[in-house]
Chain A
Amino acid sequence: MKINDVILQTVTKIVVFIILTFGVELFLSGHNNPGGGFIGGLVLSSAFVLLYLVHDIETVHKGIPFDFKKIAALGAFLAVGTGIGSALFGKHFLTQAAGHFTLPVFGETELSTVLVFEAGVALTVVGVVVTIISTISEDV
């Protein structure tokens, strides 16, 4: 029996973007406030899971043609990379640096290498969650 999920599909089109935006917001608000890579990553991956629920796997993979295992590996690489980066500069392993920069659009902004680390964590979480979900659901 084909399930009639027109409402779900229509709502998803909007909601996915709200979830993605919220994920990015959570990710960026980390460091000093609640949020950060792990939570942001979980919210981002929940958007993908919602897409998997509404459409079937093939359709989603056509739209997002990434190998999520590699995304997880890339994330882990970024996270470990920041640690090694500090070692290259003669600092203790995993030392983070921060500084204030004036960027064209954002104005005065605080940028930190933690951001790269957290981005790595977020990518890892997204990659791992989506990989797990697709592994379970592949042959249902």
Chain B
Amino acid sequence: METLMTILVGFLVMIAVYLLLSRNLIRVILGTAVLSHAAHLLLMTMGGLKKGSAPLLGEDAESYTDALPQALILTAIVISFAVTAFLLVLAYRTYKKTGTDNLQELRGFEDE
């Protein structure tokens, strides 16, 4: 299972890199979102996948899965949520101001 997940992470990173390298601003933002999801998945995989029962009170089990990676991921998701939302607002404002979402056309812009 871990191997499969690792391959999936690699696949997500591949997609993210492709999107990040494109010229379209929205695609870049999608790329950052996919990239952070890849990181979250990696965190979960590295913490060890299902080794025991869910770490909840009331689950009578011999062993529990490590809960720390999930806590880490939740924090990381919150942060990437905030960053993605900010990037979307930023991209929208930039589009309104410059009239383009093509990064090539935004290059080498001198102060107005």
Direct A–B contact in the complex, CB atoms closer than 8 angstroms:
yes
How far is it, in angstroms, between the C-alpha of A128 and the C-alpha of B85 when the chains are bound? 10
For residues 53 through 94 of chain A, which have their beta carbon under 8 Å from a beta carbon of chain B?
A: none
Residue contact A132 to B56, C-beta cutoff 8 Å: no
Residue contact A38 to B57, C-beta cutoff 8 Å: no
Residue contact B82 to A128, C-beta cutoff 8 Å: yes
Beyond A38-B74, A38-B78, whether A32 also contacts B85 by CB under 8 A is: no
Beyond A38-B74, A38-B78, whether A135 also contacts B89 by CB under 8 A is: yes
How far is it, in angstroms, between the C-alpha of A123 and the C-alpha of B58 when the chains are bound? 29
- State the Cβ distance, A25 to closest chain B Cβ, in Å: 17
Q: Which residue of A lies closest to B56 (CB)?
A: A33
A136 interfacial contact with B, CB 8 Å: yes
- State the Cβ distance, B78 to closest chain A Cβ, in Å: 7
How far is it, in angstroms, between the C-alpha of A33 and the C-alpha of B55 when the chains are bound? 9
Q: Which residues from A are CB-within-8-Å of B74? A: 38
A99 interfacial contact with B, CB 8 Å: no
A contacts with B: majority SS = helix
Q: Which residues from A are CB-within-8-Å of B57? A: 32-33
How far is it, in angstroms, between the C-alpha of A136 and the C-alpha of B86 when the chains are bound? 10
Beyond A38-B74, A38-B78, whether A136 also contacts B56 by CB under 8 A is: no
How far is it, in angstroms, between the C-alpha of A132 and the C-alpha of B58 when the chains are bound? 38
How far is it, in angstroms, between the C-alpha of A33 and the C-alpha of B57 when the chains are bound? 7
For residues 36 through 91 of chain B, which have their beta carbon under 8 Å from a beta carbon of chain A?
A: 56-58, 74, 78, 82, 85, 88-89
For residues 26 through 51 of chain A, which have their beta carbon under 8 Å from a beta carbon of chain B?
A: 32-34, 38
Residue contact A132 to B85, C-beta cutoff 8 Å: yes
- Measured CB to CB, the residues of B under 8 A from A are 56-58, 74, 78, 82, 85, 88-89, 92, 96
- Measured CB to CB, the residues of A under 8 A from B are 32-34, 38, 128-129, 132, 135-136, 139
| 7 A-B interface contacts by CB (under 8 A) | A32-B56, A32-B57, A33-B57, A128-B85, A132-B85, A136-B88, A139-B96
